[in-house]
Structure 1
Amino acid sequence: MDINRVSARAIHEKHYELIVIGSGFGSTFFLNEALKHLDGRALIIEWGDFHPWAWQIEAQRNSVISPENTYTNRGEKPWNMTIGLGGGMNCWYSQTPRFHPNDFHTQSRYGVGHDWPFGYDELEPYYCRAENIMSIAGDPDMARMLPRSQDFPQPPHKGSAIDRLMKTAMPDHHFIMPTGRARVATETRNACCATATCNLCPVNAKFTAENGFAELYSHPKVDVCLNSEVRTLEYSGDTISGATISSNGEQFRVFGDLFVLGANAIQSPAILLRSDITHGQTGMGLHEQVGADIEVYLDGLGNFDGSTITTGLNYAFYDGDFRKERSACLIYFENRWPHGLRTERGRWNETLPLMLVTEDVPHIDNRITLDPATGNAIINYHGESAYAERGIEYALEHLGELLEPLPVEAIHYRRKRITESHVQGTLRMGKAGDGSVVDGDMIHHSKRNLMVVGTSTYPSCSPANPSLTAAALSIRAADRLYS
């Protein structure tokens, strides 16, 4: 992939119409839309380097920078991300369910967490646009649960025999997983090979920055500054004027008209805190989903005949008035064997791995602070809420009822999942004065030429994977800014 590379030294003291900090879903999808409206030039500043797909496969890693080397973690829970051009588009497993309509109104409906400044209907057309860009393969039946105005760009992946039974028994709650892994090959991507190695896709089937945004990074109006960390933002009054950059042990400055901060939910608040931009609950509310691994032994029914890593999603425990007391739970039906295969003769595939994933309630004590000596990010995370734990407990207690369409022999709890690798919160959106940092258009409440994009802006925690929503939010934000 050709990239308009520039060094931090080459852009020192230069001025851009748009400066984008970070290059993950939020940043890149925003720039892709904003570029249609720019008269001047845009700059991407990325802490990591560009590592092509072929390099990642050979090296068996997504980046040379380990996430834990970019922060100090005062807890045991890991926080995963990729530091490199494309951010999470490198390492993601490309699961792309939308958020549920009621995920946007958890406070007003259930008295839990924070409402979003807009609802599902407002975001729905942008979901469609993001799905089209990524050529999402999806189950049309999902419209029963998550209304949609356009068909999925690609047909769904093949479900398993288990999914067929579950869909017949629960047609309004069981669906084939929508995914950014191609079911049908495109001009830049091959069809999914179903080898369950999605973070390092061996056939280049999943959507990535390299196979999805090559024209953006090589656009004559876009400069890409790699291996450069933004340390602070300079401002006067309510206007950001510039950014300071650290690269190869030296410091540089660059100036701009509009700044977009999408460095991830750990580094974005760290940049603002170092800059003494502390409006609202900056850095507070770090969260992600809470999960558990389950293995179900089946009697006479085989598994692993689906066509991708996760074949089914079940919403039976997802929404209802119970969310006043316990969290929503989304159940992932797996087409892989993380717990091994069965050893009984002729029964090797009579097993069903499940992931139970629940929402959590963001808490201000789970937060990002700074090391006073270095200014680097410190993660202070004290654990998930009792609300999330109750959601997991309920799902475990009632899993047998949900699985009644299947010939279940035994249900085994295997482990609590230590992370879902979805770093969220810390710069949530909302209304001015409610503790939020940005408004519904993702513009900073006090610095009006600063936008914050990506999962750091999430006011609440859906059980669903967050990346598609981050992409849709950025398309919407760009549309509203330039309309």
Structure 2
Amino acid sequence: MVLDIRAQQVAGEHYDLVVIGSGFGSAFFLHEFSRRRKARVLVLEWGRHNTHDWQLEHGSNSNVQDDSTYSSNSSKPWNYTIGLGGGTNCWFAQTPRFHPNDFRLKSLYDIGLDWPLSYDDLEPFYCTAEVIMSISGDPDMAAVMPRSRPFPQPPHRMSAPDRMMKAAQPGQHFVIPTARARVATEQRSACCASFRCWLCPVDAKFTANNGFMHLFEPPDVAVCLNSEVRRLEYAGGSVQSVTFVNEDKEFQVTADLFVLGANAIQSPAIVLRSDLDGEWVGRGLHESFGWNFEAYLDGIDNFDGSTITTGLNFGLYDGPHRSDYAAALVYFENQWSYGMRPEPGRLRQTLPLRVVTEDLLKPENHVTLDENENAHVVYAGPSDYAVEGMAQAKQRLGELLRPLPVQEIFDRGQSKTESHVQGTLRMGRDATDSVVDRDMIHHKLRNLVVVGTSTYPSCSCANPSLTAAALSLRAASRIA
């Protein structure tokens, strides 16, 4: 392992593969590529390596504030982690698959965009990603998202409200799949349900630190930390080299294959600085649209589940309504989001809920460059489609919760962020509608692979990280 090799040692060198960034997209690509093919690899990571112990000691996932790496015309936060492992450090480890119909919005509902691949194309790679991360999950979910292999771990323990909902709605209420261990593994403890998933105190969730450090162990893999990639140099139909900054000095390396997985703000910034400003580059920045609720229950105690979020309800998700307004996914929370009820004997008789709707890719929401050629976010707000989907979900929430003895539902306000930056280097059929193809390869530069959530042509309600992992496994299997 050559971890944190000096920039001067790699300058001018040639590699089989250069990987830019080390989050979900990059790490899962490297995992599958190196399993299939021996290669000399350089990983360029903007941040440093912050161990789990360091993160606990400092109460932070990174020493770099994400909002210091971009400017914006909006106060909306876009959360990500700069450091080895990227988003694997800060994620809450919620791992639902995308719904099969998420991949064909245009053909089914004449809205948004279709993906250039199907759920069936991705399904075996979903399974592999779930094995790598030891995902716990509810086998009943196969009724909505068909699966060819069982979940590696049993589902987490439901809360009392979840059990009532599942009994009444077995085809739409499920235990949430997670990369928070239900059963301890050699590397990870079982989830402690202490509700601090952004920085798990017992190291129960999958991260690069406890699950992927072996990627950097081979002698032919080098990791150059504190190295910000600025641009790609290309000629004809291929990338020739990458230029990066380390300690205020520029360095350059060449390679046969380049993988770009910075994130959905920094990846398009790199592409724009490289004068690859096609029609769709940077366009369509988005994440799902979230709203918070709390339901007071009559005589039913909550918070007896075994993890921070226990249930997913698909009752407001798929159907013909998606032609007019967005799908909604309801998350049942097992955390004290709003404190305890004040009435004696009713401390636990409350249910926090999060409702999330899909969004459409609006071109006016985009990443561009400021006067210093650094990332600048222009954001005008969610689509009317997402907002109307949330309005419909609010109206229908009481009916959805009918199996529970609900006394009152409180509107706790819009979520500032879902921390799922997506959509700025979308995949599609060809260069007329997208930046990369179904194998994540750039339409014009055929040795440039773009990985991660920046490639998403639509916005599922579900958490996107598992899908990013599966897409990278698929791309690497086809390219290697």
* TM-score relative to the length of structure 2: 0.99
The equivalent residue for 2:430 is 432
The equivalent residue for 1:248 is 247
Show CA shifts across 1:259-318 (max 9, x none). Answer: 000000000000010000123410100000001000000011110000000000000000
Report if aligned partners of 1:295, 1:411 keep a CA contact under 8 Å in 2.
yes
The equivalent residue for 1:393 is 391
The equivalent residue for 1:308 is 307
Report if aligned partners of 2:2, 2:219 keep a CA contact under 8 Å in 1.
no
Q: Does 1:273 align with 2:248?
A: no
The equivalent residue for 1:403 is 401
Residues 434-473 of structure 1 mapped to structure 2, 5 A cutoff: 434-473=432-471
The equivalent residue for 2:289 is 290
The alignment partner of 2:35 has SS state of: coil
The alignment partner of 2:285 has SS state of: strand
Q: 1:154 is matched by which residue type in structure 2?
A: Q
Report if aligned partners of 2:175, 2:311 keep a CA contact under 8 Å in 1.
yes
Q: Does 1:150 align with 2:149?
A: yes
Q: 1:390 is matched by which residue type in structure 2?
A: E
The alignment partner of 1:241 has SS state of: strand
The alignment partner of 2:209 has SS state of: helix
Return the alpha-carbon distance in structure 1 between the equivalents of residues 153 and 30 of structure 2: 25
The alignment partner of 1:331 has SS state of: strand
Report if aligned partners of 1:279, 1:446 keep a CA contact under 8 Å in 2.
no
CA offset at residue 431 of structure 1? Answer: 1.1
The equivalent residue for 1:480 is 478
Report if aligned partners of 2:36, 2:477 keep a CA contact under 8 Å in 1.
no
The equivalent residue for 1:136 is 135
Return the alpha-carbon distance in structure 2 between the equivalents of residues 171 and 428 of structure 1: 35
Closer, same or farther: CA 347–3 of 1 in aligned 2, 3 Å: farther
Q: 1:123 is matched by which residue type in structure 2?
A: L
CA offset at residue 3 of structure 1? Answer: 5.4
Q: 2:141 is matched by which residue type in structure 1?
A: M
CA offset at residue 238 of structure 1? Answer: 0.9
Return the alpha-carbon distance in structure 2 between the equivalents of residues 455 and 40 of structure 1: 25
The equivalent residue for 1:208 is 207
Q: Does 1:341 align with 2:340?
A: yes
Report if aligned partners of 1:134, 1:180 keep a CA contact under 8 Å in 2.
yes
Return the alpha-carbon distance in structure 2 between the equivalents of residues 431 and 104 of structure 1: 13
Q: 2:205 is matched by which residue type in structure 1?
A: K
Range moving further from structure 2, 463-472 or 212-221? 212-221
The alignment partner of 1:254 has SS state of: strand
The alignment partner of 1:327 has SS state of: coil
CA offset at residue 227 of structure 1? Answer: 0.4
Range moving further from structure 2, 318-327 or 211-220? 211-220
Report if aligned partners of 2:428, 2:434 keep a CA contact under 8 Å in 1.
yes
Out of 394, 405, 412, the position equivalent to 2:410 is 412
CA offset at residue 219 of structure 1? Answer: 1.8
Return the alpha-carbon distance in structure 1 between the equivalents of residues 38 and 27 of structure 2: 18
CA offset at residue 214 of structure 1? Answer: 1.5
The equivalent residue for 1:29 is 28
Range moving further from structure 2, 457-466 or 397-406? 397-406
The equivalent residue for 2:92 is 93
Return the alpha-carbon distance in structure 2 between the equivalents of residues 269 and 478 of structure 1: 21
CA offset at residue 399 of structure 1? Answer: 0.8
Return the alpha-carbon distance in structure 1 between the equivalents of residues 36 and 229 of structure 2: 25
The equivalent residue for 2:174 is 175
Return the alpha-carbon distance in structure 1 between the equivalents of residues 374 and 272 of structure 2: 10
Return the alpha-carbon distance in structure 1 between the equivalents of residues 225 and 317 of structure 2: 41
The equivalent residue for 1:122 is 121
Return the alpha-carbon distance in structure 2 between the equivalents of residues 348 and 9 of structure 1: 60
Report if aligned partners of 1:291, 1:357 keep a CA contact under 8 Å in 2.
yes
Range moving further from structure 2, 264-273 or 431-440? 431-440
User: Tell me, which stretches of 5 or more residues in structure 2 are unaligned?
Assistant: none
CA offset at residue 433 of structure 1? Answer: 3.5
Q: 2:477 is matched by which residue type in structure 1?
A: D
Return the alpha-carbon distance in structure 2 between the equivalents of residues 91 and 324 of structure 1: 34
The equivalent residue for 1:368 is 367
Residues 73-88 of structure 1 mapped to structure 2, 5 A cutoff: 73-88=72-87
Q: 2:222 is matched by which residue type in structure 1?
A: D
Return the alpha-carbon distance in structure 2 between the equivalents of residues 26 and 363 of structure 1: 23
Identity %, equivalent residues:
59
Return the alpha-carbon distance in structure 1 between the equivalents of residues 171 and 99 of structure 2: 14
Report if aligned partners of 1:296, 1:352 keep a CA contact under 8 Å in 2.
yes
Closer, same or farther: CA 328–3 of 1 in aligned 2, 3 Å: farther
Report if aligned partners of 1:8, 1:245 keep a CA contact under 8 Å in 2.
no
The equivalent residue for 1:10 is 9
Show CA shifts across 1:18-48 (max 9, x none). Answer: 0000000000000011112334301110000
Show CA shifts across 1:307-357 (max 9, x none). Answer: 000000000000001000000000000000111110110100000000000
Q: Does 1:218 align with 2:217?
A: yes
Return the alpha-carbon distance in structure 1 between the equivalents of residues 329 and 344 of structure 2: 33
Return the alpha-carbon distance in structure 2 between the equivalents of residues 334 and 257 of structure 1: 47
Return the alpha-carbon distance in structure 1 between the equivalents of residues 279 and 384 of structure 2: 25
Report if aligned partners of 1:279, 1:445 keep a CA contact under 8 Å in 2.
no
Return the alpha-carbon distance in structure 2 between the equivalents of residues 457 and 430 of structure 1: 9
The alignment partner of 1:156 has SS state of: coil
Show CA shifts across 1:433-477 (max 9, x none). Answer: 332000000000010000000000000000000000000000000
Report if aligned partners of 1:314, 1:332 keep a CA contact under 8 Å in 2.
yes
Return the alpha-carbon distance in structure 2 between the equivalents of residues 473 and 55 of structure 1: 31
Q: CA RMSD in A?
A: 0.8
Q: Does 1:352 align with 2:348?
A: no
Report if aligned partners of 1:284, 1:363 keep a CA contact under 8 Å in 2.
yes
The alignment partner of 1:10 has SS state of: helix
Return the alpha-carbon distance in structure 1 between the equivalents of residues 333 and 214 of structure 2: 35
The alignment partner of 2:36 has SS state of: coil
Report if aligned partners of 1:4, 1:220 keep a CA contact under 8 Å in 2.
no
Return the alpha-carbon distance in structure 1 between the equivalents of residues 37 and 103 of structure 2: 31
Q: 2:79 is matched by which residue type in structure 1?
A: N
* TM-score relative to the length of structure 1: 0.98
Return the alpha-carbon distance in structure 1 between the equivalents of residues 7 and 106 of structure 2: 44
The alignment partner of 1:132 has SS state of: helix
Report if aligned partners of 1:292, 1:415 keep a CA contact under 8 Å in 2.
yes
Q: 1:87 is matched by which residue type in structure 2?
A: G
Stretches of 4+ moved more than 2 A in 1?
2-5, 36-40
Report if aligned partners of 1:17, 1:38 keep a CA contact under 8 Å in 2.
no
Return the alpha-carbon distance in structure 1 between the equivalents of residues 334 and 231 of structure 2: 45
